[in-house]
Amino acid sequence: MKKLSLTVIGLYLLFLHGFSQVSKKYENIFQSRPLKLEEINLVTSYYSQNGSHSAVTGGGTAILGVGANAITLPGSEQLNDFSNFLELKLVGYGETGNKHTILAGLGIDHHTAASQKYISSTGASSPGGTRVYPSLNWTVENANKGTEFGLGTYYSHEYNYTSFALDGHIGFKNKTGGEFGAKVSAYLDQVSLIYPSDDSTKYKTGTNSITTPLDQLVIKTNASKSSGGSVYYGGETTKEASIPTTARNTYTGSITYSQIINKELEMAVLLDVVKQEGYLGLPFHRVIFNNHLERIEKLPSSRTKLPIGLRVNYFLGDDVIIRSYYRYYTDDWGLTSHTASIEVPYKITPFFSVAPFYRYYVQSATKYFAPLYGHKVDAIGNPKETFFTSNYAASAFSSHYVGLGIRTAPPGGINHSYFASLEVRFGHYVQTTDLNSNVISMHFTFK
């Protein structure tokens, strides 16, 4: 974190010096202008999905126990999410003519998930949750030199997860239509250690805690409050705020270069390097072995990701744009993937357009994945593998995402008001694991 902070400070001083180099002939032209609210953006969306491979129940419909005491946990992945995000854009100019832009945002999501009910084996856990995520970004741009510098900060909180992030970015434009950008970011997260309630009854109780054979702290969750409220911890009831947490940190470096080839063609190359450290699983994801041994998923404490992408935009006259994108991804957990997408906005009138889109995705499984009852035990009944998960996000699958966007932005605003534009998008997603979903979103812009 100290290295990141020193890097950002150094970049800031470098660019502050560059922005101060304004020629004498502009000194009497530029006048400072205070920050002014220039634009308001509101995005609201509704997402709904269905599937049958919940990681909470071990990757499918599972049976815990034997005989008359057996419990069936349905593997439903049914989920509904309603989200809203409000962003204010403020713009001002300094005495040297540099443009300052501040983006202040606030988002609120609320979801209900069928699988979340079965953090408790009785199905009595709360299925709902709310996430709140404010953000603040500042960018300063020197149009004469074609340079920009910016900083951002983000926060997100929900019942089992808290995240704080910082980022810094720089940008350069050349005189031949090229643009270079670089960004570094750090996400410092805390994962609440909420374990399945049925696990904690199986293991010995120490003085202040309960310990599993994997030497992991276990929390016995109150059946009606496993998504918030109070829990049983160390044999005593405690408040949600007292639930232990563990760190998960993500550091990202990104480089982009885009180039205008001619008046019809623009291309960009995108490269990311991502490093994750800490607790990279979720404590309420069960793994059920071939002999019905039950454990929580266990994953390495480090992961390195390397995505590289290519974006190509082609302009067919004034009314049609072909936007295409390809990305290759690999990581040290054995997962590789390919993404290819295309979107074709078409202007029916100068102020009304439609944009059909399609995305294809395919990935291999990580080396730690096996389905329900797919992980093996040794001769004495212990897991053969050091790491294991039955989360189908780590499985091999392919998917298709298709939809349509509609946008209107009449001059003078809709009905000659501050309501500048409206965009509506609908998408349908289907995955070969039998997961499918639909999402509809609306983007309102006011100026």
pLDDT of residue 220: 38
Torsion region of 6: left, alpha or beta (phi above 0 gives left; psi -120 to 50 gives alpha): alpha
* 232 and 278 both lie in a single domain: no
- Alpha helix positions (H), 211-314: none
CATH number (domain holding residue 114): 2.40.160
State whether the Cα torsion 407-411-416-417 is positive or negative: positive
Compute the distance between CA of residue 356 and CA of residue 426 in angstroms, rounded to an integer.
Answer: 10
Give residue 227's domain range.
194-243
Task: Decide: helix, strand or coil at residue 401.
Answer: strand
* 57 and 158 both lie in a single domain: yes
C-beta atoms surrounding 288 within 10 Å: 23
Do 307 and 207 meet the contact criterion of CB atoms below 8 Å apart?
no
* 239 and 279 both lie in a single domain: no
pLDDT of residue 29: 54
* 111 and 198 both lie in a single domain: no
Of 243, 259, 278, the residue at which a domain comes to its end is: 243
Mean pLDDT by 10 residues, the chain (447 residues): 42 45 47 90 98 95 81 93 98 92 98 88 82 98 94 95 97 94 98 73 34 37 37 41 83 98 96 97 92 91 98 95 98 98 97 97 98 95 94 98 97 92 98 98 97
pLDDT of residue 8: 42
* 224 and 119 both lie in a single domain: no
pLDDT of residue 57: 93
Give me the number of domains the chain comprises: 2
Query: pTM score, two decimals?
Result: 0.85
* 18 and 118 both lie in a single domain: yes
236-239 β-sheet, strand order: 220-221, 230-233, 236-239
* 223 and 348 both lie in a single domain: no
* 318 and 372 both lie in a single domain: yes
* 427 and 319 both lie in a single domain: yes
* 235 and 254 both lie in a single domain: no
- Alpha helix positions (H), 249-339: none
The CA-based diameter of the chain, rounded to the nearest angstrom, is: 89
Match 């800490």 to its residue by tokens: 278
Of 206, 225, 243, the residue at which a domain comes to its end is: 243
Q: Nearest Cα to 220, choosing from 389, 230, 113?
A: 230
* 226 and 178 both lie in a single domain: no
Q: What is the DSSP letter of 377?
A: B
Compute the distance between CA of residue 223 and CA of residue 35 in angstroms, rounded to an integer.
Answer: 51
Q: What is the DSSP letter of 115?
A: G
pLDDT of residue 31: 67
Do 176 and 158 meet the contact criterion of CB atoms below 8 Å apart?
no
Do 236 and 267 meet the contact criterion of CB atoms below 8 Å apart?
no
* 226 and 285 both lie in a single domain: no
